[in-house]
């Protein structure tokens, strides 16, 4: 899944490469996928793109939000897959869920893997689910200071029942972190993904904040994970500390074996000695 570092890079590249260029047409894809959600409809999305142009693009958490020349915003949100800018002579993706055509035989292809949302909307058309993600600060937002972070954890409505993995991945308090980067954040902070929020004391909260900023900052500077691609098809440079490739290898902190567990619908990689519940 695309997370904050990848979304930040792709949004910047869209602004640099496509700002002000007129949109000739758009088509909603050659591949059907029941977990790709369009809003308001495929037909209206195609119509709203025609004759428009990109004014700017920004990231918000894991989403990429593209301001068009009129009042519409193109939202690509909570998704996995690729966003690829194809120029004349480049290899064209065989499968895609949205294609936006520009002059000079140039096109933007969006291919969703797993699930994803795409909408071309005015402010009054945004539903409650998307509104929550828009209103939640990104992990790299200046408002996310150590005091803010600790305060939000202490005020979290379900701190007695929810785990720290739920807290990060539900994107209701802080956005941009998925299961991928969370593994490294929790490992650096020495916290188990199952640990309940109420059981995380002040020093651990501070360690979590430091790990969050360090991991995300490092990943942004390296243009995202090596398993993800930027707008031009180039892999990122960030190599995770904890993932399927480090399973069974020695923990870099204590030498114990890195383990894989299943929790909340996904895989987690931990050192059971360093990360205790």
Question: pLDDT per residue over 66-113, tens digit each?
Answer: 999 988 999 999 888 999 999 988 888 888 999 999 999 999 999 998
Q: What is the pLDDT of residues 4-56, one digit of tens each?
A: 999 999 999 999 999 999 999 999 976 677 788 999 999 999 999 999 999 99
3-state secondary structure the chain: CCCHHHHHHHHHHHHHHHECCECCEEECCCCCCCCEEEECCHHHHHHHHCCCEEEEEEEECCEEEEEECCCCEEEEECCEEEEEEECCCCCCCCCCCEEEEECCCEEEEEEEECCEEEEEECHHHCCHHHHHHHHCCECCCCCCCHHHHHHHHHHCCCCCCCEHHHHHHCCCCCECCCHHHHHHHHHHHCCCCCCEHHHCCHHHHHHHHHHHHHHHHHHHHCCCECCCECCCCCECCECCCCCCCCCCCECCCCCCECEEEEECCEEEEECCCCCCC
What is the pLDDT, as a whole number, of residue 114?
83
Q: In whole angstroms, what is the distance from residue 14 CA to residue 56 CA?
A: 8
Q: Is the pTM of this model over 0.75?
A: yes
Residue length of the chain: 277
What residue ranges define each of the domains in the chain, with the CATH number in brackets?
4-135 (3.20.190.10), 146-270 (1.10.8.50)
Higher pLDDT, 277 or 68: 68
Average pLDDT, the chain: 94
What is the pLDDT, as a whole number, of residue 78?
84
């Amino acid at each position: 899944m695309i997370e904050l570092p990848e979304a930040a890079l792709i949004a910047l590249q869209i602004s640099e490469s496509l700002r002000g260029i007129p949109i000739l047409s758009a088509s909603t894809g050659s591949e059907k996928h029941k977990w790709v959600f369009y809003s308001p409809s495929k037909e209206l999305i195609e119509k709203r793109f025609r004759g428009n142009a990109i004014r700017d693009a920004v990231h918000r958490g894991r989403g990429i939000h593209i301001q068009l020349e009129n009042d519409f915003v193109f939202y690509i949100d909570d998704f996995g897959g690729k966003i690829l800018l194809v120029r004349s002579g480049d290899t064209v993706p065989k499968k895609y869920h949205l294609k936006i055509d520009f002059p000079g035989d140039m096109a933007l292809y969006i291919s969703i893997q797993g699930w994803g949302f795409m909408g071309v909307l005015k402010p009054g058309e945004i539903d409650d689910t998307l509104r929550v993600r828009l209103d939640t600060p990104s992990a790299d937002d200046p408002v996310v200071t150590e005091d803010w972070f600790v305060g939000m954890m202490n005020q979290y409505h379900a701190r007695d029942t929810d785990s720290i993995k739920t807290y990060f991945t539900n994107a209701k308090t802080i956005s941009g972190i998925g299961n991928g980067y969370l593994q490294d954040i929790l490992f650096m902070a020495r916290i188990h993904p199952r640990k309940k929020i109420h059981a995380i004391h002040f020093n651990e909260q501070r360690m979590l904040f430091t790990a969050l900023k360090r991991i995300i900052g490092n990943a942004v500077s390296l243009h995202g994970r090596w398993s993800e691609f930027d707008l031009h098809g180039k892999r990122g440079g960030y190599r995770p500390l904890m993932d399927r490739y480090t399973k069974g290898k020695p923990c870099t902190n204590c030498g114990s074996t890195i383990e894989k567990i299943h929790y909340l619908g996904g895989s987690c990689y931990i050192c059971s000695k360093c990360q205790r519940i």
